[in-house]
């Protein structure tokens, strides 16, 4: 059965050599021609290494961003924008505010968001890294944190545009959303209106 399926697939691939390449853009629902033959070869030259490379390259090509990646990118962009706006809105003297004595200060919360985003986005980019809470363990005043948070969020937004590992980026989106919920609580307790309201 397997050899029969492979034979059919091979026949279809060879039959397609005379067709013009058509690449599907799944988000636009349109076809666009690439102006070259599908496999860029004649069916009688399939045995060469060069042709095998061409077939492999064509099969490995991925279409434009899939709906899941686009949804992650959009949602992360939205939550990260709210985090950045909240961090900017809260006055410098409120960065030491705690909702209760047993929780992080607002500054430590922003620093934790930066640390965890660095970790998850580095992993989402395909890097093997260990978690580090260096930002949270450092100075957590507004002047120190805002540039670090901006750099982290910019790097993450770029990673969401061309991810290597979606699972880490999904985890990051959940984590940053959870902590944006904390930011909302802190801001309300400070008498402020969060940017998402």
CATH of domain 67-189: 1.20.120.450
Is the Cβ–Cβ distance between 111 and 138 less than 8 Å? yes
Q: Domain extents for the chain?
A: 20-64, 67-189
- The CA distances from residue 162 to 77, 80, 125, 167, in Å, are 14, 17, 8, 13
Distance CA 163, CA 121 (A): 9
State whether residue 24 is helix, strand or coil.
Answer: strand
Is the Cβ–Cβ distance between 124 and 166 less than 8 Å? yes
Closest CA to 104 of 174, 185, 169: 185
Distance CA 143, CA 35 (A): 54
Share of the chain above pLDDT 70, in %: 67
pTM to 2 decimal places? 0.68
Q: List, for residues 27-47, the tens digit of each pLDDT value.
A: 444 334 444 333 333 444 445
Q: What is the pLDDT of residue 66?
A: 84
């Amino acid at each position: 059965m397997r050899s029969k399926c492979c034979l059919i697939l091979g026949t279809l691939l060879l039959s397609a050599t005379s067709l013009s390449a058509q690449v599907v853009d799944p988000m636009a629902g349109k076809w666009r021609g690439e102006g070259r033959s599908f496999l860029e070869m004649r069916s009688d030259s399939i045995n060469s290494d060069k042709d095998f490379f061409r077939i492999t390259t064509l099969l490995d090509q991925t279409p434009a961003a899939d709906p899941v990646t686009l949804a992650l990118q959009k949602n992360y962009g939205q939550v990260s924008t709210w985090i950045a706006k909240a961090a900017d809105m809260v006055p410098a003297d409120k960065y030491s505010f705690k909702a209760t004595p047993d929780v992080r200060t607002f500054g430590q919360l922003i620093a934790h968001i930066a640390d965890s985003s660095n970790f998850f986005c580095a992993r989402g980019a395909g890097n093997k890294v260990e978690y580090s809470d260096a930002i949270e363990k450092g100075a957590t005043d507004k002047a120190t944190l805002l540039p670090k948070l901006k750099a982290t969020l910019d790097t993450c937004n770029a990673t969401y545009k061309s991810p290597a590992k979606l699972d880490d980026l999904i985890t990051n989106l959940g984590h940053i959303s959870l902590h944006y919920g904390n930011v909302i609580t802190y801001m309300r307790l400070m008498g402020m209106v969060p940017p998402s309201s």
